[in-house]
Structure 1
Amino acid sequence: MSAGVPSVFGLAVTRVHLLGAGGMGMAPLGLYLAELGFMVSGEDDGWNPAVRALLEQAGVTLTAPGTLPDEVQLVVHSSAVAPSHDSRRRATARGLPQVRRGEMLAEVVKGRKLVAVTGSHGKTTTTAMLITALHRAGFPCGWVLGGLFNDATLPPARVGAGDWVIAEVDESDGTIGRFSPEVTVVVNLDWDHADHYAKLSDLETAFSALLARTKGAIFLSDACPLSARLAARGGFTAPIHTFGRTGEYQGHRTADRSPGQELALGGRFALAQVTVRAPGEFNVANATAALAVAQHLGATLTSDSLAEFAGVRRRQSVLHASSITVYEDYAHHPTEIRALLGSLRRERTTGRLVVVFQPHRFTRTAQFKAEFAAALAGADHVFLMDVYAASETPVAGGTSADIYAELKQGGAADHVTYLPGDETGLLKALAAALQPGDTLAFVGAGDIELTARAFVARLKAREEREAAWQNFLITARARLGPATKLLEHEVLAAKTTMRVGGPARVYAEPAGAEDLQHLLREAGARNLPVLLLGRGSNLIIPDHGVDGLVISLGHPAWQSFEPQPDGRLWVGAGLRLKNLCGLATKAGLQGFEFLEGIPGSVGGALRMNAGAMGGWMFDVVDEVRLMTLAGEIHTRKKAELHVDYRHCAELHDAIALGAWLRPAAGVDADAIRRQIEVYQKKRVESQPREPSAGCIFKNPPGGSAGRLIDESGLKGERVGDAEVSTVHANFIVNRGHATSADIIALVQKVRARVKSVRGVDLEPEVLLYGQEWRDVL
C-alpha cells in the first residue's frame, strides 16, 4: 500500500474488488479508491460503455461476472447484489470481509471534512453543481458524485487537495448511519425505499440522527415540510441554515437563458445574480443550495459560477433534438416525475409530451402506484415498461400492471400503452405514435437508458432516411419529364388483386426508359430501396405500407405489342397478360393462351416465371430486355437466364423492360379463342372469384399445397375477413375488409396446421411486399 492509502476498517487492505462496479454509485467510488492508491478490480452484469471506459482509464481491472480475483482482500458491493451472487459466495467461502458501497465511502472519507449532500430528490444534481462552483472558484477539495457529468470536463470522483471532500450520501440502504459530516445538506425529504424504511417515522429517525452527528452546519430546504419538522425537533449542535425562495439563502428565477436560466440571489448571499446552465424550477432550488454551501465554505462566487455547468447524465439530459426532442431522466419517485413533467411542459413550445416510464423496484411501485398514476397523468401519452426489479422479487400490487390499473381507474387508459413483456412491440408502437413537434422523455432509474439510446439511434436513422427521401424528391422532380407520375404516400391497396395494404413512401410511374434511369440512379445514390409493382397480383402489401420507391410501369409507353419481321413478338413489361392474349388471338399468334387468366403484367410474369394450365412464361420467351438498379440496360437471351419454379434470378435485382416472345405456329384465331375458352371455364370452376393474390403456397416436391391444406381441414378457415377459399384451398380470399395482418395470421395458422397434420413445411409463393416471410413466420 502506498503511504497515502488509509487503512480501512482497521485492516491493512491494498486490493479491493467491486461488485456492481458499473453502477452510478459504485463506479465513482472505484475511481476514488484507485486514486487513493488501492489496487481495484470490479465486475458487473451489464456495462455502460462510458462507465467501463472511465474505470479502465483509471487502472481498474474489470473481470467477468462471478470472477473473484485470488489476490482480493476486501469486497465492496452494491446493496442490489445479493449474498447469493457467485462472487459474494466465493468471498464468504474465503473468509473475506464484505461491505456495502456506503460503508466503504464513509470509511475512506473519515480523515477529511465531509460535505454530505443528502435527500430524496436532486441530490446528484446539487452535488454536481456544488462541485462545479467550487472547481470554478479554485477551491481545494475532493469529491465523489453519484453519477457522471454530461461531458468530460470533470470526473465523477477526485481525491483532490485540502481538507474538504464533497460526497453524495444515499439513504436508501441505511448506510447513511455511517457518516458524521462536517456539513450536511438535505435537499428535500420524501418517504421512499419502503423496503428499508417501513414507516415514514423510520426515515425521519435516520435523518435526525445524521443531523445530530453533523458538526459544522446544516442546510435545509425552506419548501420541505418534513425538513422543517426535523428542524423543530432540535437537539442539534450544528447551526441550521435554510435555502429557497424565502430562506436565509434565497434564489429566484428572473429569466430563461437557453439552455438555462438567470437567478436573482438574496438573503445572506454576497452575490446578487447568477446564470445557471440548467432549466426548471427544481434546478433553482438545487442551484441555491449548492451556491449557499459553496459560500459557506469560503469559495468566491461569481455570476458565471454555474454558467458552464455540464449537467449530469440522465438528469433531464437531451439525447436528441430535431423534429422530436428526446430527454432522459433518472426520476423514479412520483414527486420527481411530477416536477420533471412540469418542467418539460414549460420548456415545450409545440406538440405533445410523451413519456416512457420504467418503474424502479416492486416495493416502491406497490407503495406509490396511485401517486405514479397521478404524476404520469401530466403527460399526453404514457408508454409503460415493466418494473426494473433491481435486487427484488415481485410483491403484490407492485407491477406496472398495477400502475396501468390506476391510470384506467382515473380515466387515462386511452392515453397509455402497456404491452407486458413486449418491449420491442412497445417501442414499435412508440415510433408509430410520435409526431413532429413532440417531446419524448424516457424516465426511470433502471436500465431504461439503454432502451432510450437504442430508440434514439433508430430515430436518427429514420430522420436521416426522411432527409434522403426529401433530397431524392427535389432532385427527381427537377429531372423527370412532365408525363412521369411521382407521388408521396400513395395508397397501394387498390393497385393489388388482394385489395389490402398501406402506402408507398414514394410511388412513380415513369413515362420512359430515361426517366426510369433517373429514378433508379437517384434512389441508388441515397441507398433508398426500390420495389417494382406490376398488376399487383401474387403479393401482399403490409398494412403499414412500404418505405421504398415503388415503381409501376403503368404508363402506356410500357404496354407495346409489336409483331417483328422475324416472326417474334415484342411486348412491353407493362402490358397486361390478358391484353397480350387478346391481341395475340386477333393476330393469329398461338402459344400464349395459358396466360389469359393470370391477373398480372408481362414484367411480373417474367420476374416470377408465371404459370398456369401447364404452361410457363419462359416457355414462350426468346430474349428479355432489362434495366439494372444502377440504370444499365442489357438484353439477355433465354439461354443466358437462370429460370426455375416461380423465379428468374437475373430479375431479382433488375427490372424487366420487355421481352421478345416466340409464338407457336400461326393458326386460325377462332381455334385460339376456343382454347382460351376451355382454360377460362376450367379456371372459373377451380378458382375463387373473390379478391385474392393467387396461389399462396408453393407446391412441395411431388405434391399439391392445395390438397394438403384441404386434407388438413382448413377450407373456410378465417382470420378476420381473410378466408381459406372453399373453392381452392391454396387461395386466401378477401371477404370484404381483410387486412394484411389478417392474411399473415391466416398464413401462419395454415402452415402450423399442415405441419402438425401432414408433417410438411409449406413455403409461401406469394410475395410479402417490402419484407421477407422469414421475418413474420
Structure 2
Amino acid sequence: MIDSTQSTLFGRSVRRVHAVGVGGMGLGPLVVFLAGRGWSVSGEDVALSPAMAVQLDRVGVRLTDEGELPVEVDLVVISSAISSSHPTCLAATEQGIPVVRRGELLAELARNYRLVAVCGSHGKTTTTALLLTALRAQGVPVGYVLGGLWVDDELPPAAVGAGDWLIAEIDESDGTIEHFAPEITVLVNLDWDHADHYTAETDLVAAFAGLLQRTRTTVLGWEGCALTQRLLTQAPAGLTAKTFGRDGDFRLVTLESGAGEQQLQLGGELPQLTVTLRARGEFNALNATAALGAMSLMGETPAAEVFADYRGVRRRQTVLLADADLTVIEDYAHHPAEIRALLGSLRQDLAEGQRLVVVFQPHRFSRTRQFKVQLAAALAQADALHLLDVYGAGEAPLPGGTTADLYAELVQTEPELPVNYLPGDAAGVLELLRQSRRAGDVVAFVGAGDIEKRAREWLAELAEETARRSEWDGIAHSLREVLSADAKVVREEPLAKKTTMRIGGAARIYVEPESTEDLAAVVQVARRAEVPVRMLGRGSNLLVPDAGVDAIVVSLRRPAWETFTKLADGRVRVGAGLRLKNLCGLAAKAGLSGFEFLEGIPGNVGGALRMNAGAMGGWMFDVVESVDVVTSEGEVINLPREELHTGYRHCRELANCIAVQATLRPVTRASADAVGRKIDVYRSKRQESQPREPSAGCIFKNPEGDSAGRLIDVCGLKGTRIGDAEVSTTHGNFIINRGHATSADVIELVRRVRTKVHQEAGVLLQPEVLLYGSEWEDVL
C-alpha cells in the first residue's frame, strides 16, 4: 500500500501547493487528489465552472484572486493553458518557488504507484471512467485521477484509494507524456493532433513510442488503429502487447443499440459476457472493451453488471434535455475524428423527420488551421450548423485558424449546408439557434472550450420561454373575453402557409378581428400585457423566423375588411384587408385608372400602405388621400395625406399605427377595357422578369443609382443555394423556396449574398423584406 503522506517531490519537501488554472479538467482533478493526500492546496482560475467549484470546495481548496500567490507555498503547478509569463508564475520564480506543469506533477506522484496510464487521441476520459466504474463495482479500491467530471456530482474526479494501483488519464498535448513510466499503458487510439507542440505526425508517434519504451509490463492498444498497431509491433522486448477491438485479444463480438444504450457481447480473453452500456456509438463500445481489457490485465475478472452504475462523464454525450419536442446534448469532441464519430452515432438514432443541429466551438487556432478541411467534412453530417469563435486556450489567433476561415471552407465545400456564424457574437448565434428551432430537433453543443456554458445559457432561455407560454395563454384568454364571438383567437397558429414564401414558425397568438372595435380591443389588451402587435397581410415581403413570432399577430382576412366603396366624386374607400389584385380588378370595372401598378403585388391594402408599395414606376401613396388608423392606444383616427411622411418602402406614422381603411383618388377615368389592357401589360412584364416559385418579393433594397438584382447577377450569385433556399436564376434579387427551405436557410443565403457583393462590388446591400418579429441587424 502506498503511503499517501509521502511529500518529497522534485528533490524537495512539498506539502503546500498552489494551482494556476485550477478549473481545468486536467488540473482540477489533480488538485482534488492532492487535497485527498492531506496537502494544503490553493488555486486560481478566471473561468471556474460551478461544477468544478463544488468539487474543490468539498476538499477544502482555497481559491484566490488571479495573480495572488499565497504567502506559504512549496510548489506552483499550472495547467497546459497557462504560460510562463502569467503573473503568478513570475512571482513564484522571483521567490524561488518551483513552477511545474500538471503532467510533470502527476508523473512525479505516479512514481510511487503501479500506474495504469490511459492515453491516446480520443476517448481517454470515457475509457478511464468506464474502467473506474468496473473496478468500483467489484470493490477494488484504486486511486485515480480522471480528466474530467462525472455526471454525478457526488463522485469526486480523483481519489487517493487504498491500494498500490493508480488509474490516471495521461495527456500528450504539452509533451509531459515523456515523464511517465506506467505499469500498464492503455493506448485507445492515435491521430495526429496538437500541431502547436508536434509539428509533424512522426513527432507525436515518437512521443508515444517513448511511453511504450518506459512501460513496465503490458501495453493494450486498439487493433483497428494503424498507428497504434505500428507501435505495438515495435514494442521493446519484454513488454507484453495486447489488443482490443473487433479482432483483438480482448474482443468486442457484437453490439445491439437501443435508446441511449447498447448490449455488448464480449469474447477472446474476456469472459463470454453480455454487458449493458448506457452510451451511444461503436466508439464507446470500443472504449468499454478497452476498459474491461485493462481490468483483466490488472488481475480482476469483470462480471456482467460492471457498468450498471455508469452514469457518464460530463460533456461526453451528456443529455441536458430530452422530451418529445427537443433533445439537447453536449460533447467534448473537438478533433475531426471525434466529431465524425459523435455525429455519426447521433444520426443513427434520429427518427424520421428529426434534424441534427450542431453548435460547434473550435478549440485552439493551431488545431483549426491544421484540420480545417477535415473539420468541415465532419461537421457536414449536421442538418444545420451554428459556429462560435475559436476557444484559444491560451493561443494567439493564427492566420487560417479562425472560425471565419472554417466558415469560408464550409461555404466552399458544403454550399447547401445551412451555416450560421456571427463573429464575436455568441449570444446572437444562440438567438438564431432559438429562432430556427423545430419540434423534434436534436441539438448538439460540441467542443472543448467553454461551450458548455453557452449550452446551459441557451437552455435557461428556453426555460424562460416555457414560462412565457403560460403568460401567452393568459393573454389569449383575455382576448377571447373582450372580442366578438366570431373573432378568431388561436394560440401557436402556423404562419408558413399564410406567407408567399411558405416559410416560418407560429404566432404566439393569432387573431382575426371582426371589426374596428375588435381591433382596438386587441391593441388595448396587448398594451396592458406589454406585448407587441404585428400585422400580417397577405404574407408578402416578409420572412417569418423558424421559431415563430413572439407577438399577437393580427390578420384582417374577414370580409368586413375587404370592402370597396365607390364615392360620388370618383374617389374610392377601401378596407385594409382588400387584396391589391382585387382592388385593381374592381377599379377597372368601375373605369378608374391609376391603380394598375399594384396588380402584381401579392399583398393587401394595409400592407401596401405600411410599406408604401411600389412597382412599375408607381407608389401607393401616389393615390392615397387619407388613411383611417387604430393608434397604439387603441383610438381610431383619420390621417390626411399631407400629415403622412412617406419614402422608399415606408410610412413613418404607420410604423406605430394600424391602417384599417383608406380613401384613394384615381389618377384618371378610363374605360374598363383600357384599364384591363394596361393591367395585362404589367402582368406580362412581371411574369417575364420574376420567378414563379414561392418568394417574398425583392429581397434587397436597390442601392441608390443601381439595381440589387444587377449586382447579384454580376457577382455570379444566381443559383446559389442553401438547403432549399436559392437565389433565383430568373431574377437575382429574389430568393425562392424550392420546397422545404427554412428561415435559417434564407438568412444564411442573405448573409452570403451580402458578403460577396460587398467584397466584389463594394456595396453593402440592405434587406427590403421584413424579418417578421425580429430585426435584420440582430442576425446580420
TM score, norm. by length of structure 2 = 0.69
Q: Which amino acid aligns with 2:345?
A: S
Q: Which amino acid aligns with 2:54?
A: A
Q: Which amino acid aligns with 2:339?
A: I
1:397 aligns with 2:400: yes
1:720 aligns with 2:701: yes
1:99-498 superposed matches below 5 A: 99-322=100-323, 323-350=325-352, 351-412=354-415, 414-466=417-469, 469=472, 482-487=485-490, 488=493
Question: In structure 2, do the counterparts of structure 1 residues 126 and 420 end up closer, same or farther at CA, with 3 Å as the change threshold?
Answer: same
Aligned equivalent of 2:41: 40
Q: Which amino acid aligns with 2:465?
A: R
Which 5+ residue runs of structure 1 have no aligned equivalent? 495-500, 559-573, 575-595, 608-650, 660-675, 699-718, 724-736, 740-767
Aligned equivalent of 2:753: none
- Tell me, in whole angstroms, the C-alpha distance in 1 between the residues paired with 2:776 and 2:415: 37
- Tell me, in whole angstroms, the C-alpha distance in 2 between the residues paired with 1:541 and 1:379: 27
Which stretch of structure 1 is more off in the superposition, 96-105 or 195-204? 195-204
- Tell me, in whole angstroms, the C-alpha distance in 2 between the residues paired with 1:120 and 1:239: 22
- Tell me, in whole angstroms, the C-alpha distance in 2 between the residues paired with 1:307 and 1:157: 20
Q: In 2, are the aligned partners of 1:117 and 1:166 still within 8 Å (CA)? A: yes
Q: In 2, are the aligned partners of 1:492 and 1:503 still within 8 Å (CA)? A: no
1:548 to 548, 551, 566: 551
Deviation at 1:155, TM superposition (A): 1.3
- Tell me, in whole angstroms, the C-alpha distance in 2 between the residues paired with 1:772 and 1:218: 59
Deviations 1:312-361 (A, max 9, x none): 11111112223222211111111111111111111211322222222111
- Tell me, in whole angstroms, the C-alpha distance in 2 between the residues paired with 1:774 and 1:400: 21
1:752-767 superposed matches below 5 A: none
- Tell me, in whole angstroms, the C-alpha distance in 1 between the residues paired with 2:286 and 2:773: 53
Percent identity (aligned): 47
Deviation at 1:149, TM superposition (A): 0.6
Deviation at 1:720, TM superposition (A): 2.2
Question: In structure 2, do the counterparts of structure 1 residues 217 and 522 end up closer, same or farther at CA, with 3 Å as the change threshold?
Answer: farther
SS in 1 for 2:251: strand
SS in 2 for 1:599: strand
SS in 2 for 1:335: helix
- Tell me, in whole angstroms, the C-alpha distance in 1 between the residues paired with 2:776 and 2:138: 64
SS in 1 for 2:371: helix
Q: In 2, are the aligned partners of 1:125 and 1:312 still within 8 Å (CA)? A: yes
Q: In 1, are the aligned partners of 2:526 and 2:533 still within 8 Å (CA)? A: no
SS in 1 for 2:280: coil
- Tell me, in whole angstroms, the C-alpha distance in 1 between the residues paired with 2:536 and 2:52: 56
SS in 1 for 2:12: coil
- Tell me, in whole angstroms, the C-alpha distance in 2 between the residues paired with 1:217 and 1:6: 29
Q: Which amino acid aligns with 1:336?
A: E
Q: Which amino acid aligns with 2:651?
A: A
Q: Which amino acid aligns with 1:24?
A: M
Q: Which amino acid aligns with 1:683?
A: E
Question: In structure 2, do the counterparts of structure 1 residues 688 and 96 end up closer, same or farther at CA, with 3 Å as the change threshold?
Answer: closer
- Tell me, in whole angstroms, the C-alpha distance in 2 between the residues paired with 1:597 and 1:20: 70
Q: In 1, are the aligned partners of 2:40 and 2:61 still within 8 Å (CA)? A: yes
1:83 aligns with 2:84: yes
Indicate the RMSD between aligned Cα atoms, in angstroms. 4.5
1:538-687 superposed matches below 5 A: 546-549=549-552, 599-601=627-629, 604=631, 683=642
Deviation at 1:237, TM superposition (A): 2.5
- Tell me, in whole angstroms, the C-alpha distance in 2 between the residues paired with 1:104 and 1:133: 27
Q: Which amino acid aligns with 2:455?
A: A
Deviation at 1:380, TM superposition (A): 2.1
Q: In 2, are the aligned partners of 1:119 and 1:189 still within 8 Å (CA)? A: yes
Question: In structure 2, do the counterparts of structure 1 residues 399 and 551 end up closer, same or farther at CA, with 3 Å as the change threshold?
Answer: closer
- Tell me, in whole angstroms, the C-alpha distance in 1 between the residues paired with 2:280 and 2:459: 22
Deviations 1:260-280 (A, max 9, x none): 110101011124211111111
- Tell me, in whole angstroms, the C-alpha distance in 2 between the residues paired with 1:8 and 1:689: 78
- Count matched residues: 607
Question: In structure 2, do the counterparts of structure 1 residues 301 and 697 end up closer, same or farther at CA, with 3 Å as the change threshold?
Answer: closer
Deviation at 1:301, TM superposition (A): 2.2
TM score, norm. by length of structure 1 = 0.69
- Tell me, in whole angstroms, the C-alpha distance in 2 between the residues paired with 1:315 and 1:687: 58
Question: In structure 2, do the counterparts of structure 1 residues 548 and 522 end up closer, same or farther at CA, with 3 Å as the change threshold?
Answer: same
| Structure (1 or 2) with the larger CA radius of gyration | 1
- Tell me, in whole angstroms, the C-alpha distance in 2 between the residues paired with 1:91 and 1:161: 34
Question: In structure 2, do the counterparts of structure 1 residues 447 and 695 end up closer, same or farther at CA, with 3 Å as the change threshold?
Answer: same
Question: In structure 2, do the counterparts of structure 1 residues 185 and 687 end up closer, same or farther at CA, with 3 Å as the change threshold?
Answer: closer
Aligned equivalent of 2:661: none
Which 5+ residue runs of structure 2 have no aligned equivalent? 562-575, 577-623, 657-699, 705-732, 736-770
Aligned equivalent of 1:707: none
Q: In 2, are the aligned partners of 1:530 and 1:550 still within 8 Å (CA)? A: no
Question: In structure 2, do the counterparts of structure 1 residues 392 and 3 end up closer, same or farther at CA, with 3 Å as the change threshold?
Answer: closer
Question: In structure 2, do the counterparts of structure 1 residues 416 and 227 end up closer, same or farther at CA, with 3 Å as the change threshold?
Answer: same
Deviation at 1:115, TM superposition (A): 0.7
- Tell me, in whole angstroms, the C-alpha distance in 2 between the residues paired with 1:158 and 1:79: 22
- Tell me, in whole angstroms, the C-alpha distance in 2 between the residues paired with 1:178 and 1:535: 69
